[in-house]
């Protein structure tokens, strides 16, 4: 019986001879309400179980009681045993009529027994006979379709339980207990999950801090090593230059070409070290950012494109600078802007075998300044385009096997772009060329004061 059904019976059912009067029913109703309030106040499973079992023993005048709950594996296990004095007893004293417990659990039907020592019952249940039981009350604990367990009380004395209010009250208590136990179990699981998540989060934070610390140490080491390599290498280059001047007076021309090879190789090392140093400064946070008003055309593109003409001519390439705007002023760090276009133009020439490289400056419909670096080179696959700005990445075919480089140039371009609150996009098709577009906001005095 549910609590609602019991309440309705109190209000509507007339009193008849031999049945408890309305006052007694009202007392039962108040008792159930009080029990329900008490057991639902706590969200600690053990406290709820103790309250439930104490009241179950009390309302049935039983000598002892048990709560048996389903575990994670679906097996029934004893969770609590108490006697009528409220004492908890463990282990070996958990002797009850298991056949009744299993019957109630699997059928979801309560079982109430008086005069359990009758010939029929004692013959069919050895535990009832051996324990000398006379009274047994057992109800299922079911939340919807979820079986939680059973509540069981018994006594070796005969208790008048075939009074409907007693059995109804016991079933209502079981229903209330189911709600309270289920809520407490859910709360316990939630707290366990929260505790687990907190522990995982703590471990993740610690791992993140350790990773950041390790990364910082590695980058600081790279920066230090870059400096240690570049400084003596510059000294070597200076002395090679002096030796070359003297050697030209006495050596054959074919041997003098070695000095050019030494210079090219040394410059390549210096450029690689410079890229590593720049990346480490950005990652560690030691890069000094100094934004200022500057002209993309006059302060970056004009001299740079002229400087690359010699390299382009050596590969029989044409390089062209087109300026389609009179206003090319932006607010940015000059070093960053120069590094952006140095890497873009350098790559355009490196990966172009024939044709031309075009650098175009114009203004779009949104009044943004666009610098387009376009080449007729080897192009890139669509798969590689998604990884082009990742550090140390190069396309397996073409970029990594046929051309020198360390995969840092485009990663640095991306970081310099972000540092200056700008944007970059790329379009490419294998065998047809590549177009990089950098997008800048025009200088605004009010925004940059």
Q: Report the percentage of the chain scoring pLDDT > 70.
A: 82
Same domain for 278 and 297, yes or no, is: no
Model confidence band, residue 391 (pLDDT cutoffs 50, 70, 90): confident
Same domain flag for 55 and 137: yes
For the segment 341-381, what is each residue's pLDDT rounded down to a tens digit?
A: 999 999 999 999 999 999 999 999 888 999 999 999 999 98
| pLDDT of amino acid 426 | 95
Do 304 and 217 reside in the same domain of the chain? no
- Return the pLDDT at 335: 92
Give the CATH number for residue 314: 3.30.565.10
Q: Is residue 250 part of a domain?
A: yes
Q: What is the pLDDT of residue 25?
A: 56
My answer on whether 297 and 178 are in the same domain is no
182 and 232 inside one domain: no
State residue 403's pLDDT score.
Answer: 52
Q: Is 148 exposed, middle or buried (0-12, 13-18, 19+ CB in 10 A)?
A: buried
Q: Are residues 142 and 33 in the same domain?
A: yes
Domain count, the chain: 3
In a domain, 364, yes or no: yes
In this structure, what token pair is assigned to residue 97?
Answer: 């009529």
The answer to whether residue 185 is domain-embedded is yes
Looking at the fold, whether 164 and 119 belong to one and the same domain comes out as: yes
- 277: in domain: yes
Domain that holds residue 65: 3-192
Q: What does pLDDT average to over the chain?
A: 81
Q: Is residue 204 part of a domain?
A: no
Q: Are residues 42 and 87 in the same domain?
A: yes
CATH value at residue 243: 1.10.287
**Residue 271 clears pLDDT 60, i.e. is over it:** yes
**Nearest CA among 132, 105, 106 for reference residue 121:** 132
Q: Is residue 201 part of a domain?
A: no
pLDDT at position 3: 38
Do residues 150 and 232 both lie within one domain? no
199 belongs to a structural domain: no
Q: What is residue 18's predicted lDDT score, i.e. its pLDDT?
A: 46
Sheet of 318-323: strands edge to edge? 318-323, 356-363, 368-375, 433-441, 423-429
- Within this chain, do residues 245 and 146 fall inside the same structural domain, yes or no? no
pLDDT score of 128 more than 70: yes
Q: Give residue 126's pLDDT.
A: 75
Check: pTM over 0.85? Answer yes or no.
no
Grade residue 74 by pLDDT with cuts at 50, 70 and 90. confident
**Looking at 284, 317, 332, which one is the last position of a domain?**
284
Does 74 share its domain with 118?
A: yes
Which residue shows structure tokens 């870059």? 226
Residue 200 is assigned to a structural domain of this protein: no
Q: Of 284, 311, 333, which one is at a domain's C-terminal end? A: 284
Domain termination site, one of 166, 192, 218: 192
What's the alpha-carbon Rg for the chain, to the nearest Å? 43
Bridge partner residues of 425 (DSSP): 437
Task: Specify the CATH number for the domain of residue 22.
Answer: 3.30.450.40
* Mean pLDDT, rounded, for 20-32: 58
Could you tell me how far CA 341 lies from the centroid of its own chain?
Answer: 37
Do 275 and 348 sit in the same domain of this protein? no
The secondary structure element, H or E, covering residue 363 is strand 356-363
What confidence score (pLDDT) does residue 78 get? 86
Q: What is the mean pLDDT of residues 257-267?
A: 78
The owner of tokens 């276009």 is 341
Q: What percent of the residues of the chain are helix, what percent strand, and what percent coil, each to the nearest 5?
A: 55, 20, 25
């Amino acid at each position: 019986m549910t609590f609602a059904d019991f309440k309705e019976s109190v209000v509507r059912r007339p009193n008849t001879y031999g049945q408890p009067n309305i006052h007694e029913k009202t007392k039962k109703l108040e008792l159930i309400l009080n029990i329900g309030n008490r057991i639902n106040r706590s969200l600690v499973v053990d406290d709820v179980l103790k309250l439930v079992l104490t009241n179950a023993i009390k309302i049935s005048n039983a000598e002892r009681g048990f709560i048996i709950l389903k575990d994670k594996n679906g097996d029934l296990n004893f969770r609590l045993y108490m006697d009528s004095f409220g004492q908890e007893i463990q282990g070996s004293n958990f002797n009850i009529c298991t056949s009744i417990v299993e019957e109630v659990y699997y059928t979801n039907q309560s079982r109430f027994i008086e005069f359990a020592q009758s010939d029929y019952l004692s013959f069919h249940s050895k535990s009832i006979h051996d324990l000398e039981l006379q009274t047994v009350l057992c109800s299922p604990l079911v939340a919807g379709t979820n079986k939680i367990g059973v509540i069981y009380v018994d006594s070796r004395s005969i208790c008048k339980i075939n009074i409907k209010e007693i059995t109804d009250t016991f079933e209502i208590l079981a229903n209330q207990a189911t709600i309270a136990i289920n809520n407490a179990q859910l709360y316990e699981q939630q707290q366990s999950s929260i505790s687990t998540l907190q522990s995982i989060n703590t471990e993740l934070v610690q791992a993140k801090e350790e990773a950041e610390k390790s990364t910082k140490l590695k980058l600081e080491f790279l920066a230090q090593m870059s400096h240690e390599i570049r400084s003596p290498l510059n000294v070597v280059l200076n002395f090679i230059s002096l030796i070359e001047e003297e050697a030209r007076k006495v050596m054959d021309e074919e041997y003098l070409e070695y000095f050019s090879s030494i210079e090219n190789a040394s410059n390549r090392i210096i450029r690689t070290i410079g890229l590593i140093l720049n990346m480490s400064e950005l990652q560690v946070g030691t890069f000094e950012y100094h934004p200022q008003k500057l002209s993309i055309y006059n302060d970056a593109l004009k001299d740079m494109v002229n400087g690359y003409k010699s390299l382009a001519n050596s590969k029989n390439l044409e390089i062209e600078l087109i300026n389609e705007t009179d206003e090319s002023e932006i607010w940015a760090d000059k070093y960053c802007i120069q590094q952006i276009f140095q890497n873009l133009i350098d790559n355009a020439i490196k990966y172009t075998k024939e044709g031309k490289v075009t650098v175009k400056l114009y203004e779009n419909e949104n009044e943004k300044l666009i610098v387009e670096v376009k080449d007729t080179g080897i192009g890139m696959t669509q798969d590689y385009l998604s990884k082009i700005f990742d550090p140390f990445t190069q396309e397996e075919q073409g970029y990594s096997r046929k051309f020198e480089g360390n995969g840092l140039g485009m990663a640095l371009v991306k970081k310099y772009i972000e540092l200056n609150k700008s944007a970059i996009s790329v379009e490419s098709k294998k065998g047809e060329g590549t177009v990089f577009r950098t997008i800048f906001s025009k200088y605004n005095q009010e925004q940059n004061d």
